[in-house]
């Protein structure tokens, strides 16, 4: 038994309804840690990368890290790892809330879901006892109804993950939701759970976790906590204003994608900013387990047609459902966010897909007859309406439920898809922040910001300011961020801690918790190993260098106005540099020497 781990995983064959408990392999844990890393290793061995992601041959792994559920700050995270139905690449989505720690207290580091059931099922885990129950009565309920029903039946001590109608109906960007408002959001992991007909997992655990070096671990955690509390961003900023505090700076820097990336500034940004949210709709901040940062928002729209209460919106969400669709009504943006939480889908892809459809509509490619209504930029009511239709696959929502890459392709305008590897880019236009360009192009799960958050140095000056308008040095920094994040996603701690601490502090907590002799260098090397393994999975799935690219608009249509006016992304230069620094060949394949050095 390895310290800090529960030491076991639960393997569930949903087809035969067989459940098995297996030990966690200590050698694999040492080399891949847990969470994203260990789950990627197991997925790579179990699933052929060319399987249909929504077939029983795909596997879905919910994986905690060794620090999940310990007293490490922000250690409430788990990952959902599978082959993604949106992208066809590896998918790994991070989720907060209470489920991860509870799973470990029940005795398991991971749940490995194989096959597919013939009828809807509910899985109940209680301290090592596991049962599968028919869940026909839950099928069709939204996430909030599901949680309320299960809490009523099982008791509030159970922590839950579930899918909503979007996951059941295989919306390609359906999410897995925990605590009503925390999502393993991206790449369609919820659709994979839906394809397996697993509606929810309820878990309760009363066990504890032991660490290898209790005084050392306590000291390492206190050191990190002190740095988080002293840091302006993690100590106070995120709690006061949430992540949407970014709206104004990204907009003023001219890289706030507006109307499907036609522009880089939104004239009504102020109306959907973190400051406005704090003044107008914030009820209180909300934190995941053991998190002193509390970036989450409990909000209430108090009047008008969108009166309601719930969680959110985050920065990426106000962008996707606001600026990207040209909507300035904060009440509507917030309501559309609540609908996504309830139906269980990713706000980024949902909003960006409507934005793409709006451009198709304004270009005359889509008609009112196709859509069943007008769909112009700025139409708040249309955005809220389309969220409901997508999540239920009703009317034109059924078309949009496939994501914008497939929508743009279907209507003969593939260049209007604003994403990479079929996944929509989030809220930063790389024409004015070049490092995000190489980040989006190389991200192993398609358009994504949290694989290597280049906004921190290029815009926010953290840890130090880089010139956003030069390609120099971007590949190198991006690689370091990608490796760091891959390791971080494997230990079970939230990415936001990296605004105040880095690899040395994370490695110190990991070492004292597990007893494995990690230092900062090895921690970063584990991240590099995971990144390369993900890349190998994608190559075997059929992806090549030509998939490491950006939409034509960003490569050849100069930014029309603002501080980034006249710029396009100099991707080739950064990409060549990136491959070289990664030790990959010109086609972007890891060389034999690199794989040998990483022990892959």
Partner 1 sequence: MNVEVRLFATLREYLPAGSGRTSAQIEMQEGTRICDLLDRLGIPAAIAHLVLVDGRYEADRTRELQDGCAVSIWPPIGGG
Which residues contact partner 1 (rule: CB under 8 A)? 231-234, 236-238, 240-246, 248-249, 252-254, 270, 274-276, 279, 295, 314-316, 449-450, 453, 455-456, 460-462, 465, 467-468, 495-496, 499, 562-563
Rank residues 184 and 202 by Cβ distance to partner 1 and give the closer one. 184
Could you say which of partner 1, ligand SF4, none residue 236 binds, taking C-beta under 5 to 8 angstroms by partner kind?
partner 1
Among 225, 245, 291, 488, binds ligand SF4 (CB under 6 A): 291
Rank residues 374 and 465 by Cβ distance to partner 1 and give the closer one. 465
| Terminal Cα-to-Cα distance of the chain (whole angstroms) | 25
Quote the least distance from Cβ 71 to partner 1, whole Å. Answer: 24
Could you say which of partner 1, ligand SF4, none residue 316 binds, taking C-beta under 5 to 8 angstroms by partner kind?
partner 1
The residue count for the chain: 600
Take residue 303 and report the two structure tokens written for it. Answer: 């009047």
Quote the least distance from Cβ 285 to ligand SF4, whole Å. Answer: 8
Contact between 296 and ligand SF4 per CB under 6 A: yes
Sign, CA dihedral 321-324-327-328, equals positive
Helix (H, G, I), strand (E, B) or coil at 375: coil
CB-CB contact of 90 with 40 (8 Å): yes
Q: What is the CA radius of gyration of the chain?
A: 22
Among 46, 287, 462, 520, binds ligand SF4 (CB under 6 A): 287
Taking the C-alpha atoms of residue 500 and residue 178, their distance in angstroms, rounded to an integer, is 26
Could you say which of partner 1, ligand SF4, none residue 287 binds, taking C-beta under 5 to 8 angstroms by partner kind?
ligand SF4
566: left (phi over 0), alpha (psi -120 to 50) or beta: left
Could you say which of ligand SF4, partner 1, none residue 461 binds, taking C-beta under 5 to 8 angstroms by partner kind?
partner 1
Take residue 528 and report the two structure tokens written for it. Answer: 């590099």
Could you say which of partner 1, ligand SF4, none residue 179 binds, taking C-beta under 5 to 8 angstroms by partner kind?
none
Rank residues 238 and 559 by Cβ distance to ligand SF4 and give the closer one. 238
Among 86, 123, 295, 407, binds ligand SF4 (CB under 6 A): 295
Quote the least distance from Cβ 559 to partner 1, whole Å. Answer: 12
Rank residues 232 and 267 by Cβ distance to partner 1 and give the closer one. 232
Contact between 382 and ligand SF4 per CB under 6 A: no
Taking the C-alpha atoms of residue 532 and residue 400, their distance in angstroms, rounded to an integer, is 33
Taking the C-alpha atoms of residue 1 and residue 558, their distance in angstroms, rounded to an integer, is 57
CB-CB contact of 435 with 408 (8 Å): no
Site track for ligand SF4 across 74-113, x = CB under 6 A: x-x-------------------x-----------------
Report the run of H or E that residue 490 belongs to, with start and end: helix 474-491
Contact between 562 and ligand SF4 per CB under 6 A: no
Q: Give the list of residues 6+ apart from residue 111 with CB closer than 8 angstroms, or none.
A: 9, 10, 12, 61, 62, 103, 123, 125, 201
Rank residues 181 and 274 by Cβ distance to partner 1 and give the closer one. 274
Rank residues 255 and 533 by Cβ distance to partner 1 and give the closer one. 255
Quote the least distance from Cβ 93 to partner 1, whole Å. Answer: 15
Candidate ranges 59-67, 286-294, 352-360, 377-385; the one touching ligand SF4 (CB under 6 A): 286-294
Could you say which of ligand SF4, partner 1, none residue 494 binds, taking C-beta under 5 to 8 angstroms by partner kind?
ligand SF4
**Could you give the residue ranges of the DSSP H alpha helices within 86-171?**
99-105, 143-154, 165-168
Measured CA to CA in angstroms, residue 225 lies from 115, 233, 495, 499, 506 at distances of: 42, 13, 14, 12, 11
Angle subtended at Cα 576 by Cα 444 and Cα 531, rounded to the nearest 5 degrees: 25
Report the run of H or E that residue 131 belongs to, with start and end: strand 129-134
Contact between 494 and ligand SF4 per CB under 6 A: yes
CB-CB contact of 364 with 415 (8 Å): no
Quote the least distance from Cβ 271 to partner 1, whole Å. Answer: 10
Question: How buried is 48 (Cβ within 10 angstroms: 0-12 exposed, 13-18 middle, 19+ buried)?
Answer: exposed
Query: Which chain residues interact with ligand SF4 by CB under 6 A?
Result: 74, 76, 96, 287-288, 291, 293-296, 494, 496
């Amino acid at each position: 038994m390895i310290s800090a781990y529960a030491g076991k995983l639960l393997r569930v064959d949903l087809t035969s309804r067989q459940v098995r408990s297996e030990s966690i392999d200590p050698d694999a844990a040492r080399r891949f840690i847990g969470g994203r890393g260990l789950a990627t290793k197991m997925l790579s061995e179990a699933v052929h990368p060319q399987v249909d992601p929504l077939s029983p041959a795909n596997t879905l792994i919910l994986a905690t890290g060794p620090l999940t559920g310990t007293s490490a700050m922000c250690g409430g995270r788990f990952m959902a790892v599978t082959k993604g139905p949106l992208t066809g690449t590896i998918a790994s989505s991070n989720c907060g809330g209470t489920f991860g720690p509870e799973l470990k207290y029940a005795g398991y580091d991971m749940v490995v879901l194989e096959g597919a059931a013939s009828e809807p099922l509910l899985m109940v885990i209680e301290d090592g006892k596991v049962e599968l129950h028919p869940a026909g009565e839950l099928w069709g309920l939204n996430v909030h109804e599901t949680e309320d029903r299960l809490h009523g039946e099982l008791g509030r001590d159970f922590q839950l993950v579930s899918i909503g109608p979007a996951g059941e109906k295989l919306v390609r960007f359906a999410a897995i939701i925990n605590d009503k408002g925390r999502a393993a959001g991206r790449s369609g992991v919820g659709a994979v759970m839906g394809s397996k007909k697993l509606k929810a997992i309820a878990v309760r655990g009363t066990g504890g976790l032991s660490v290898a070096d209790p005084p050392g671990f306590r000291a390492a955690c206190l050191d990190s906590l002190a740095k988080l509390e002293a840091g302006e961003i993690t100590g106070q900023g995120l709690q006061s204003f949430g992540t949407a505090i970014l709206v104004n700076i990204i907009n003023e820097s001219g890289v706030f994608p507006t109307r499907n990336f036609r522009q880089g500034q939104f004239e009504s940004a102020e109306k959907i900013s973190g400051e406005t949210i704090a003044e107008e709709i914030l009820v209180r901040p909300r934190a995941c387990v053991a998190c002193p940062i509390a970036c989450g928002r409990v909000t209430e729209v108090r009047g008008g047609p969108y009166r309601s209460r719930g969680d959110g919106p985050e920065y990426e969400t106000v962008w996707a459902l606001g600026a990207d669709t040209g909507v300035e009504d904060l009440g509507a943006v917030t309501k559309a966010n609540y609908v996504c939480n309830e139906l269980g889908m990713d706000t980024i892809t949902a909003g960006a897909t409507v934005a793409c459809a709006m451009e198709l509509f304004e270009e005359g490619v889509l008609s009112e007859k196709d859509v069943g209504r007008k769909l112009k930029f700025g139409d708040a009511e249309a955005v809220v309406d389309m969220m409901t239709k997508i999540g239920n696959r009703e009317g034109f929502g059924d078309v949009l439920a496939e994501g914008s890459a497939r929508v743009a392709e279907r209507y003969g305008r593939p260049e209007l898809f604003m994403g990479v590897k079929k996944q929509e880019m989030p809220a930063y236009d790389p024409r004015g922040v070049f490092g995000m360009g190489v980040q989006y192009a190389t991200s192993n799960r398609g358009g994504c910001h949290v694989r290597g958050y280049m906004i921190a140095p290029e815009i926010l000056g953290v840890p130090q300011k880089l010139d956003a308008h030069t390609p120099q040095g971007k590949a190198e920094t991006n690689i370091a961020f990608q490796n760091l994040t891959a390791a971080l996603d494997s230990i079970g701690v939230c990415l936001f801690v990296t605004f105040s601490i880095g690899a040395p502090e994370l490695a110190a907590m990991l070492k004292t918790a597990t007893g494995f002799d990690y230092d900062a260098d090895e921690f970063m090397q584990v991240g590099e190993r995971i990144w390369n393994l993900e890349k190998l999975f994608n190559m075997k799935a059929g992806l090549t260098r030509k998939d490491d690219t950006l939409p034509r608009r960003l490569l050849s249509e100069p930014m029309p106005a603002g501080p980034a006016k006249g710029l396009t992304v100099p991707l080739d230069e950064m990409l060549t540099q990136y491959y070289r620094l990664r030790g990959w060949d010109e086609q972007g394949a890891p060389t034999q020497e690199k794989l040998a050095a990483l022990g892959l």
